[in-house]
Each structure stands twice: as structure tokens, then as C-alpha cells.
Structure 1
Amino acid sequence: SEPRVGASVETVRRVVGLGGEVVVASGAGLRSGILDGEYAAAGGVIVADNAAAVAGADVVLAVRRPAAAELSGVKPGALVIAIADPYGNEAALGEIAQTGVSLFAMELMPRITRAQVMDVLSSQANLAGYRAVIDAAEVFGRAVPMMMTAAGTVPAARVFVMGAGVAGLQAIATARRLGAVVSATDVRPAAKEQVESLGAKFIAVEDEEFKQAETAGGYAKAMSAEYQAKQAALVAAHIAKQDMVITTALIPGRPAPKLVSAEMVAAMKPGSVIVDLAVERGGNVEGAVPGEVVTTANGVSIVGYLNVPGRLAATASQLYAKNLYAFLETLIDKGSKSLAVKWDDELVKATLLTRDGAVVHPNFGGAKAAGDKPEAASAA
């Protein structure tokens, strides 16, 4: 289910240039369009499988968090850098801690200027937003742009994007490129200007709560039940007129907020399409099924594809590998060509989950490394 890979030909060449030895599991890049021979030509050493690749490793670069059993051959204190998906997986973090590795979660990278090139959420969400519109257009079965022909005029499709973060903004831009009439909503006031700058109409209840609905880190805050009700009424009337809806709303560490109810889906026209990009976190759409396209009784298709960035594996891997390399480079002393982790660096402190047999990230203090039953961790 994971076609992406944690190294590109370029990043292998760069790590070798820093004095490292890069060991690649055979076939790791195949579904991202990278052959073993290309890695080898860049200086990589090809081995039979993942177990052989991690054996004796100082650093493990992965797409998703490995299981603890997959890390049995690494050196004590080795660095494991991946998309760790820590929220709700505290037991797995405890098991990994027992292996003695230092696990870094790339998705916890702080949103500061020096870390922009390491921001995996942005690089992967950007592709997910693009692919969501392409998938919606494929399922839609009608033309997207307005077409004027001798046989009559085809109206432009109406696309509504819910959530104007990185994925949402790319979805807006892509739908506009295809010729759709686009509107969008978000609870963050800063999103209004961004949406309108892309030529889309902004839809939201703009009250006092709306004006305060953004965290210092730029994420959406959870809204009150009263605001959600007002927003839902506005959105319900708008959704009924749409041909395609793309939902992208996620709040870090929490289940995805339900934005589209069964009643809203029932009000849509037959042939309409909804793509739920949050389906892996519980979904924004009532009736969405992870990994499936569901057609409702009134003929609306709800698309719940998993790992949407992986549907563009070659491009996703190229960007993700660059994110990993940019972070890894900060952990290497170029003079001695050896690992030199600055444990007090803000990037390290923000992303480090486990070290020296313990779960050390403050958000996951309930995860136990010594075999105790994990407690519920804070999702602050």
C-alpha cells in the first residue's frame, strides 16, 4: 500500500558526497520509477531486502514508521527518520523506544523559515490536493470547463473545496486550471485572501469566533458547536449546487472533523462527486469508506482513496526524499563526515519521539517503553 520511497537518485548521490554509505533495499524505488541500477550508479549499495538494508545502519530513512520488529538489526542509538503517525499509536511508539533507536517524526517539523524545505506535510499535501481534483474529474464523467459548440454549450463544473490549507489551495488552483467555477471554505480568516487570490469565491460565516480561529502555528482551531451549526447551514445550501466537493480538513492529533453530513450528500445532484482527503483520519464526509468509491442511493460518488500522495509516487518520492535529506544534512558534521546530532536544536526537539529506550516527546508522555500498558496521550 506504500509505493513511495525515502531516497531519490539525487539524495543518494548527495549523502555519498557527504561521506556516507547508502544501502538500498532491492526494489525499494521500483513503484516510484527508480530502478536499482540508478541507485547503484549514484553510489548506493543494493541489498536483498529491508532487513539487510537496516542491518548495522546508523540512520534509517523510511516513508512510514517501521514496526519495532523491522528495526532489530540497527545499531543501538541509530536514527530512524520517517512519517511516524504518532497520534493514536502510543503503543507502537513504546515498542520502538524499546529497540533503543531515536525515532524522528517528519510531520512534526515546526513551521519556521529554516524548516520549509523539510516540511513533508506541505510537499505531500500539495500533491494530494492536485490529485484529488484529477480523481474527482475522472469519476465525474462530464466535462469540467465550459465548452461552446455548435451542438450547444456545456456549462463549467462547479467545484467546492473545504479546507484551504496546502492541499486545499492546490485543489483550488488545479480546478481553476481545468476551467471549473471554484468556491472554497475554511475556518481560518487568513485563508479568505488566499482563496480569493486564486480566483475562487470564499464561503464562511465570518463572525467574531471566525476571526480568532487560527493557532500560532497556522493551523485551524477546533470550533464551537454553535459556530459549526451556523457554518453547516451555510455549507448545506451551497453544497446542493455543486458538481464536485473536495474535503481536506484535518486538525493535528484529532479525528477529522465531520463537514459533510448524509443529508448534505442526499441534497446533491446525481453524478456529483465528493473526494474525502481526510478519510484515513476518520473522514470529513459521512458515508466515506477508506479505500473505496461509494455511490449513494441518489447517485453521488464518495471517493475515499487512501494515501493519495502515493497515487503520484514518482513525484511524491522526489519531494519527500528532498525533505529527508534537508533534515539529515543538519545532523551531519561535514568536517568529520560523521553524525553530530544537536539534541537542543529546535528541529530535533520538535520531531524527536524516542531516545535511549524512552518516549521523550512531551505530547506522547503516556507511551511507555518498558512494556507497561500505554496511557492516553495528550493531543495538545
Structure 2
Amino acid sequence: MLNPLEAFRIAIGSISSSKLRSALTTLGIIIGVAAVIANVSLGASFGQYFDDEVGAAGNNFILIEGQDVNIFHENELETIKRTPGVVGVSPVVQQSGQVQYMSGTRQVNVQGVTEDYEEVANFNMAAGNFLSDKDKYSAVIGEDVSTDKFDKDISNRNSIDITLRRNDGTEVTQTFKVKGIIKSPGTTFLQSGIEPDERIFIPISTMNEMLGREYYGGFFVQATNLESVGEVSEEIDGRLARSLGVSARDIDNEDVKPYTIFDQLEILDQVGQLSGALSALLVSVALISLIVGSIGIMNIMLVTVTERTREIGLMKSIGFTYYDVLMLFIVESIIVGILGGILGAVFGVSGALAVNNLLNLPNVFPVELIIAGFSVAVLVGLIAGVYPASKAAKMDPVVAIKFE
């Protein structure tokens, strides 16, 4: 019986003697494996990108927004603060204000917050410091406000005039000194009221004083850790509902409650579903490429059997058995699969790396992904070569030798 080493040597010789045929055979596997690795890697990179975007929006956060005005007061703030698992909470009031800096005037979203907002929102300061609860006429601005909104950049310690409109239509203007500039988190996926780049933050007590009111628009809450966010969110929901007179049976009815509440885990879950659907689509497309490649291998191997009919007849006439011929063709298919797998993995990783850099995505290349792609290539080569190999091994040597 032919030993595997000899079968390998003969298979290499056969592949080398028909370089164009072998290259075309390998090309199908290369394209299929490269597509699988690149597409799955892109799916994983998108998933990581979405997770990073959500993480940049806040730190174990829970966001509560009032559906009507004059709902949330100091009592609701204290209710949230007393909730187990809450480590930080900032009430929020926001309004589009008219901001004047030097000779320029622009409309900018102004947000009233407390010092806890910095930690909950996961801010990094590019200059200066965030607001403290002792501040009155200090402002912290986003990086875009600092560099893009006005003709000249706003620097730390510069003064700006902010004009807000009260419910009765009167306008109130106050001068604020810039205390700090928030470093842009670089997020582009989430544009949800948490994005700080184009915002100005001032003490909420000062903002309510300017607006002539004492209620809040919502709350930005931080839980102890990400694992506890869901449980803390449910507890806050129940306590707020009771505080605002919502019956127990209506707690889950969003049409009845005068507020909405959602948390980081809910966003991550939604993003995970989006990422999973995208990955499934990309993998499906890649698998089609791999199937087409395997069919190509089978076709070319069948053509190879026809081309080498006389050679097969000679081998069988000098003592090669059914299993010897079968082994030769299967080894040849496996070698093609291995070569295709190696090159496919290289091209797949390179292609994914290029696309990730082009789209500014994180590079995610799980080792198991490359191993799986390589294994699939070998398996495809083996499966695609079995039928042609069996056909060659079953040939009658006398008929094969006479084949023209």
C-alpha cells in the first residue's frame, strides 16, 4: 500500500506539473476563505465599535427623561439617590440657547447639570475642570463648541454670554466664565442627548434660576457596575412610579407613565442584535463564496481525472490499488485546500484590516476565526476531492490505458 509520504510527493509533483490548473483550483478556496475571514472579522469589528460607542456615552448609566414639563422635582431626585446601587445622579435641564462670544452669536444646546454628570457621562477633560456644585456662573463646553462654532476658538477662562428664553417669552442673559473644555469622545453612532461635543454645560441651579423654574427635565444616573444596571433601573422605575402616583399595574405601560427610562444594557442589547444581524448577513455572503469555491474544486478535479485517465490506468496496471489512487487524489485536494486556506487567511485578514482602517473601526481578529477558516478550507478541499478521487480509483485499468 502507498505510504502517505510518497502520496504527498506524487501529489506535489502533479500540482507542480499543471500550475495554471492548480492555481485556478486554489483560487476558489482562497476567495471563499478570504471572504469568510474578512466578513466575520468585519462583523466582530462592528460589534466592538458599537460597544465602544455605547461605553463612550456613559459609565453604567441609566437615562430618565420626562414626557411632560414640571414632573421631576427635588423629591424625585432624592428618591433616586436613595435607591440601592445608585452611586451618582445628576438632574438635567436643557434648552437651545443663544451664545455670544466676542462678535459672534450662535445657537448652542445648553444643559444644566451637577458635578456628578462628569462621572456618569464618562467625560475626559481636554482643558480645565468640570463643574462643581459650588459653581454658579461657570461653564464647561464641548470641543466642537470650543473650536468650530465661532470665528475664534474659545479657550479656558474666556467669557461667554448665554441667553435663555423663559416660558413667558422673556429672555435672560448671563455671563459665564469657561471653566473647562470636554475632550471629544469621538463617537458618531450615538447622537442621543448624551453627546457632549456641541453642548455647553452650566450649573443646573443657575440654569433653573435663569429660566424661573424649579423642576428638572430628567436624570442621568450611574449604577455601581454594568451587571447591576438592569436591576437598579427596575428599582428606580418602581420607586419613581410610586412617587408620581403611577399604579403598580401601569408601571410597564409606557403610554401611562409620564417618563421614559432606559439604560446602558438595553442599548447594548439592541446594538448586539444589530451587530448579530450584520454579522449573519456578512457570513452568509461569505459562505456562498466558499460553496462556489468548493464546486469549482470539484469541477476542476473531475477535469483532472479525465486528463489523467491514461496515467491512472498505468498506475493501476503496475500495482496501484483502489486505495492508493484514492489517497493520491484526496491528498492532492487536501494540499490545494491547505494552500488555499493559508493564502485565504492572509488575504482575509489583510482585507479586513484595510476596511477597518478605512472606516475607523477597531481591528478584531479572533485567533479561533483564522483557525476555523483554515480548517474549513482543508475540509472543503477534502470533501470536494472525494468524488473525483473515487471515480478515478474505480477506473478499469485496461479501459483507462486505451483512453484517448
TM class by shorter chain equals under 0.3
TM-score by length of 1: 0.23
Q: Name the structure, 1 or 2, with higher relative contact order (CA <8 Å, separation 6+).
A: 2
